[in-house]
Amino acid sequence: MIRFPSAPGARVLAFLVLLVSLPALAAPGRVAVSSAHELATAAGLEIFEQGGNAFDAAVAVSAALAVVEPASSGIGGGGFWLLHRPEDDFSTMVDGRETAPAAATRDMYLDDDGEVVRDLAINGPLAAGIPGAPAAWVHLADRYGTLPLAQLLGPAIRLAEEGFPVDSKYQTLLNFRAHIMLRWPDTAEIFMPGGDIPELGAIIRQPELANTLRALAEQGFDGFYRGPVAEKLVAGANAEGGIWSLDDLAAYEVVEREVIRTSYRGHELITASPPSSGGIAIAQILNLVEPYDLAAMSRVERVHLLSEAMRRAYRDRALYLGDPDFVEIPTDMLLSPHYAAGLRAGIRMDRATPSAALAADPSLLPESDNTTHFSLMDGDGNLVSATLTINLPYGAAYVPPGTGVLLNNEMDDFSAAPGVPNEYGLIGFEANAIEPGKRMLSSMTPTIVQSPERVAVLGTPGGARIITMVLLGVLDFIDGNDPASWVSLPRFHHQYQPDEISLERGFLTEEEIAELEALGHEVTVRARTWGNMHGVMWDRVNDRVEAAHDPRWDSGGAEVRDSR
């Protein structure tokens, strides 16, 4: 499926030789969890207390996030779980991405004039792909865990039943979607009782979700994808314009994907493979900038160079990437050093390349803090980097009656029409066109970086910006910094179209922005921050384990404890 070019492969081999030639390094002996919600972090720690490994804890954290961070991920969504087991140097990506229902068609969001009807693509059940998250939890528990699924789902069931307190992130993200959710009063009643945004500290209970989680805990895959829950999901989705069938649910399959590996300045990256675009894009950017000495550059030079590399990688994302089970992705070409050299030859340090000079089409970009990420490690050094989503905040904003399952609106990650931007301003063409059973292209980029001395686990939500945030975090780690630094770094982003560098406020001075503009860049300073990065680090040399959550939101939880 994914093939790897020989040169990066050789670099990985060199890294492994270096690793095994070092004196044996002790296991961390501590566990670490960093997630977007302190109650989800506590769920992971609870499973560690009960003797679970990192993969057990990943199921518990994922399921707890589905309950306490309903804006960002859930049992009605999907995700990618990147796993690493040092014992046998095994890595894999568990792909629980949603799929298009069998009745989906390429032009299902187009009106009679061939224009995309945005409302259908993002609101209500026609926007929902077939969920992959619950199947992935079952798969993780069965194949990699040590404790029963019912035990791993215990904290989530408790949180759904007893409730959790509303925080400012819950309120902020609900503000974006409340007017849509109010179209379906039964759904609104769950998340905004009485039709209002709940007060800080108000308790949200989800008894129907607790029942659905219990069915999954008791029956595994069949508890969600067949039988009464599946019947209610299909009936509820189709009553409001959906096109789901019982066969769509029963046919859902988790896929294990070979990870993308690349190396940069003596570090090995293990990262997300298609249907994520993130790993290939990050590998392309690192290949492009590797010959430059970033540390010796001014901030303006560094932002310019990285933006030029980002621009080119996002152009290729639009042109080439999609579900690898449906399209032939030219991975060898995209990751080859020769291709990088060709792209590099077009970069000038004294002038921006207009995106229009690199063939494809325009778009626009809103900020996005939906989706969620967690990073964790157990006492044996097993690692999980997982990014999960229901797409926009609160997904499709619709819960099929009696299920508690908030549906995703992941179908919008397909290209609804060639070159027409989705909600993130991302464009795509044939490779990411809608087809029955196909997985929509994603930007989610769970990542692990290793050197003989240090290990980093990181990732973030943030739609189209995920890739560049993870890139900046990786570079900061490789510069020698700790998780608290990666997660709080000021961010900048370029995604080919729109042809602009966007900056978080306060990152660059007016003079530096003027210098970038003089190079030909359009620079936009955004009012809002973006992302919600969660990182864990093991420093093998200094015997340090650290975890940090993004300071941009106050709900995150990051903890390190001695392992049992």
The residues annotated as belonging to the active site are: 371
Stretch that binds ligand GLY, among 134-142, 171-179, 233-241, 436-444 (CB under 6 A): 436-444
Q: How far is the CB of 272 from ligand GLY (least distance, A)?
A: 10
99 has which bridge partners?
130, 439
Contact between 104 and 160 under an 8 Å Cβ cutoff? The reply is no
> Which of 104, 327, 444, 487 touches ligand GLY (CB under 6 A)?
444
Query: Crossing angle, helix 466-478 and helix 278-289, to 10 degrees?
Result: 50
Residue 376 is inside which H or E element, if any? Answer: strand 372-377
**Main-chain phi, psi angles of 117, to 5 degrees:** -90, 100
Residue 58 is inside which H or E element, if any? Answer: helix 54-68
Q: How far is the CB of 264 from ligand GLY (least distance, A)?
A: 23
Say which amino acid occupies 511.
E
Give the nearer residue to ligand GLY in terms of CB position, either 316 or 378: 316
Per-residue CA distances from 386 to 136, 371, 533 (Å): 11, 11, 11
Q: How far is the CB of 71 from ligand GLY (least distance, A)?
A: 13
Q: How far is the CB of 308 from ligand GLY (least distance, A)?
A: 23
Contact between 236 and 124 under an 8 Å Cβ cutoff? The reply is no
Contact between 550 and 469 under an 8 Å Cβ cutoff? The reply is no
Stretch that binds ligand GLY, among 115-123, 191-199, 350-358, 441-449 (CB under 6 A): 441-449
| Cα–Cα nearest to 561, from 8, 47, 11 | 47
Give the nearer residue to ligand GLY in terms of CB position, either 41 or 443: 443
Q: How far is the CB of 443 from ligand GLY (least distance, A)?
A: 4
Give the nearer residue to ligand GLY in terms of CB position, either 73 or 336: 73
Give the nearer residue to ligand GLY in terms of CB position, either 73 or 403: 73
Rounded to an integer, what distance in angstroms lies between the CA atom of residue 3 and that of residue 336? 11
Stretch that binds ligand GLY, among 62-70, 81-89, 112-120, 440-448 (CB under 6 A): 440-448
In the window 175-194, what residues touch ligand GLY (CB under 6 A)? Answer: none
> Which residue bears the tokens 């109010």?
182
Per-residue CA distances from 330 to 52, 138, 265, 289, 464 (Å): 39, 32, 25, 21, 21
Stretch that binds ligand GLY, among 131-139, 259-267, 350-358, 438-446 (CB under 6 A): 438-446
Closest residue to ligand GLY, Cβ-based?
A: 442
In the window 7-36, what residues touch ligand GLY (CB under 6 A)? Answer: none
In the window 371-430, what residues touch ligand GLY (CB under 6 A)? Answer: 371, 389, 391, 410, 413
Does position 442 interact with ligand GLY (CB under 6 A)? The reply is yes
Contact between 271 and 448 under an 8 Å Cβ cutoff? The reply is yes
Q: Name the 3-class secondary structure at 428.
A: coil
In the window 452-481, what residues touch ligand GLY (CB under 6 A)? Answer: 463
Rounded (10°) CA dihedral 556, 79, 207, 215: -140
Give the nearer residue to ligand GLY in terms of CB position, either 425 or 463: 463
Does position 286 interact with ligand GLY (CB under 6 A)? The reply is no
Stretch that binds ligand GLY, among 179-187, 399-407, 439-447, 450-458 (CB under 6 A): 439-447
> Which of 287, 403, 443, 451 touches ligand GLY (CB under 6 A)?
443
Q: Is 309 left (phi over 0), alpha (psi -120 to 50) or beta?
A: alpha
**Main-chain phi, psi angles of 325, to 5 degrees:** -80, -10
Give the nearer residue to ligand GLY in terms of CB position, either 343 or 440: 440
Rounded to an integer, what distance in angstroms lies between the CA atom of residue 538 and that of residue 454? 6
Give the nearer residue to ligand GLY in terms of CB position, either 276 or 284: 276
- Number of residues this chain uses to bind ligand GLY (CB under 6 A): 9
Contact between 552 and 390 under an 8 Å Cβ cutoff? The reply is no
Does position 99 interact with ligand GLY (CB under 6 A)? The reply is no
Give the nearer residue to ligand GLY in terms of CB position, either 163 or 437: 437
Give the nearer residue to ligand GLY in terms of CB position, either 415 or 563: 415
Does position 281 interact with ligand GLY (CB under 6 A)? The reply is no
Contact between 435 and 100 under an 8 Å Cβ cutoff? The reply is yes
Q: How far is the CB of 368 from ligand GLY (least distance, A)?
A: 8
Which sign, positive or negative, has the C-alpha torsion 505, 276, 371, 139? negative
Q: How far is the CB of 463 from ligand GLY (least distance, A)?
A: 5
56 is written with which tokens? 């057990």
Say which amino acid occupies 157.
I
> Which residue bears the tokens 């903890």?
559
Q: How far is the CB of 495 from ligand GLY (least distance, A)?
A: 12
| Cα–Cα nearest to 494, from 262, 302, 223, 243 | 302
Q: How far is the CB of 489 from ligand GLY (least distance, A)?
A: 20
Where on the chain is the footprint of ligand GLY (CB under 6 A)? 371, 389, 391, 410, 413, 442-444, 463
